[in-house]
């Protein structure tokens, strides 16, 4: 591109110089020749007047004085009597075939005579050549300046393109940090702004997909564990048809909830689907949840207990409530100890569910940041509680750490008459 710009600029500059220089050269040639002719005409008129005065005074022409005064001219004087006199320092006959180029002019006197003056055009040609050299030098200077400016302009235009190409290459290689470069060229700046916005969108998409992968792996780990336990129980009780049937039904229900969990996570990751809040029976939902988690905790020598008021209902998708509760109870299983207690009651118009255990509690240094991503007090991922809070807030609920020792989380659910519009949910 730079070469094309330089070549096109050079062609334009040469054409412009030719269009201006050639007429200027012709005009200079004509002007210098015209000046030389007018000068010779003036000399001829002056000489004619001087000769007329000399003839009137002494009836003789002083040819020596004319030769001395006009050393580079050839002067021919034709008197009224027909006599022809010659004077001037230029002794060459300008009318000869081998005579050098000359310019001449004739002037008549009132006495009837005529004076013709010839001048050699060597100095005229020299003046024309000098003028043409000056025009040529200025033309070359103009072309050089044009090429120099074209090089600067080409550099100014091509460097942003090179930089933008590097930015696009960075985006293609996965580096999605906005470049932020601006060049003072509106068109290039607009392209840079579009690339920066694209980088931000790509970064958002990558972050969303990464969060979905980590959140899905975290949220699916516990249901898969429960499902595998059900399948192991089926294998171990293969000779007991009643147990196999019950465990099979439980495994099937667990599989359906696993599918619901995947669809919920995928919808949130794409921000195209938000589970619709619905009025659910808290007793039934928590009873089913506790029955699924009890075998997992009993295998580790622990238990889960459900207490509190009865007849409560709240506005939240059953899948979301299950995910939030599973995250908190799994957190108690991994980092706590003893019995996990789930307590439900009504609190100021909302349904409050508390989950506590008998472990050492949450370290003070992370208690204030427990819901931030990748913040953990043990060997966990630090993702579960952050995801639980996001799910709760997306449905108008709230989850808080209300006590560090023993660890106690409180989930505040909107009453059954409250339905949150999906468009009003918190962003991911």
pLDDT digits (tens, 9 = 90+) for 9-32: 888 888 888 888 889 989 998 998
Give the pLDDT score at 170: 76
Beta bridge partners of 347: 350
Stretch 272-301: mean pLDDT: 80
Highest mean pLDDT among 163-167, 207-211, 293-297, 398-402: 398-402
Class at the top of the CATH hierarchy for domain 276-428: alpha beta
Q: Which of 120-129, 140-149, 242-251 has the lowest mean pLDDT?
A: 242-251
Please list the residue range(s) of the chain that carry CATH number 3.30.565.10: 276-428
Give the pLDDT score at 12: 85
Stretch 104-121: mean pLDDT: 84
Q: Are 428 and 211 in contact (CB under 8 A)?
A: yes
- 190 vs 192: CA distance, rounded Å: 5
Residue 242 or 331, more confident: 331
Please list the residue range(s) of the chain that carry CATH number 3.30.450.250: 2-140
Task: Tell me the per-residue pLDDT of 41-89, one tens digit each, with 9 for 90 and over.
Answer: 998 888 888 888 888 787 788 888 888 888 888 888 888 888 888 888 8
Give the pLDDT score at 424: 40
Q: Are 120 and 102 in contact (CB under 8 A)?
A: yes
Give the pLDDT score at 426: 38
> Position of tokens 């622990």?
302
Length of the chain: 428
Q: Which of 63-67, 271-275, 388-392 has the lowest mean pLDDT?
A: 271-275
Token pair, residue 10, equals: 């050079």
- 36 vs 31: CA distance, rounded Å: 9
- Options 3.40.1440.10, 3.40.50.150, 3.30.450.250, 3.40.50.880; CATH of 2-140: 3.30.450.250
Token pair, residue 160, equals: 């942003």
> β-pairing, 408-413 with 398-403?
antiparallel
């Amino acid at each position: 591109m730079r070469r094309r710009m330089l070549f096109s600029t050079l062609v334009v500059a040469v054409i412009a110089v030719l269009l201006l220089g050639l007429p200027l050269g012709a005009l200079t040639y004509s002007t210098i020749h015209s000046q030389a002719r007018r000068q010779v005409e003036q000399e001829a008129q002056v000489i004619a007047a001087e000769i007329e005065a000399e003839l009137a005074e002494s009836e003789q022409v002083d040819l020596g004085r004319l030769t001395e005064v006009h050393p580079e001219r050839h002067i021919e004087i034709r008197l009224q009597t027909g006599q022809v006199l010659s004077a001037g320092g230029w002794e060459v006959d300008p009318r000869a075939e081998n005579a050098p180029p000359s310019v001449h002019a004739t002037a008549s006197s009132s006495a009837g005579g005529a004076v013709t003056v010839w001048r050699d055009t060597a100095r005229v040609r020299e003046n024309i050549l000098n003028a043409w050299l000056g025009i040529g030098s200025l033309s070359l200077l103009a072309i050089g300046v044009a090429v120099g400016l074209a090089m600067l302009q080409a550099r100014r235009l091509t460097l942003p393109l090179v930089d933008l190409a590097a930015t696009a290459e960075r985006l293609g290689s996965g580096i999605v940090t906005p470049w932020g470069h601006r060049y003072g060229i509106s068109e290039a700046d607009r392209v840079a702004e579009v690339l920066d916005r694209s980088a931000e969108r790509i970064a958002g998409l990558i972050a969303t997909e990464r969060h979905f992968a980590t959140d899905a792996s975290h949220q699916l780990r516990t249901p898969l564990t429960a499902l595998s336990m059900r399948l192991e129980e089926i294998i171990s009780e293969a000779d007991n048809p009643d147990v196999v049937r019950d465990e099979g039904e439980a495994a099937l229900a667990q599989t359906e909830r696993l599918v619901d969990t995947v669809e919920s996570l995928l919808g949130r990751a794409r921000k195209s689907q938000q589970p619709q809040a619905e009025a659910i029976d808290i007793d039934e939902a928590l009873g089913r949840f506790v029955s699924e988690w009890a075998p997992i905790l009993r295998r580790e020598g622990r238990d889960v207990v459900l207490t509190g008021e009865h007849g409560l209902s709240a506005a939240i998708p059953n899948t979301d409530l299950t995910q939030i509760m599973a995250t908190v109870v799994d957190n108690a299983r991994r980092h706590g100890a003893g019995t996990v207690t789930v307590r439900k009651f009504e609190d100021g118009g909302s349904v409050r569910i508390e989950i506590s255990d008998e472990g050492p509690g949450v370290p003070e240094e992370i208690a204030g940041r427990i819901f931030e991503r990748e913040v953990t007090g043990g060997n966990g991922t630090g993702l579960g509680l952050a995801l639980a809070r996001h799910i709760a807030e997306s449905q108008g609920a709230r989850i808080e750490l209300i006590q560090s020792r023993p660890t106690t989380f409180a989930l505040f659910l909107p009453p059954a008459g409250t339905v949150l519009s999906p468009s009003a949910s918190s962003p991911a």
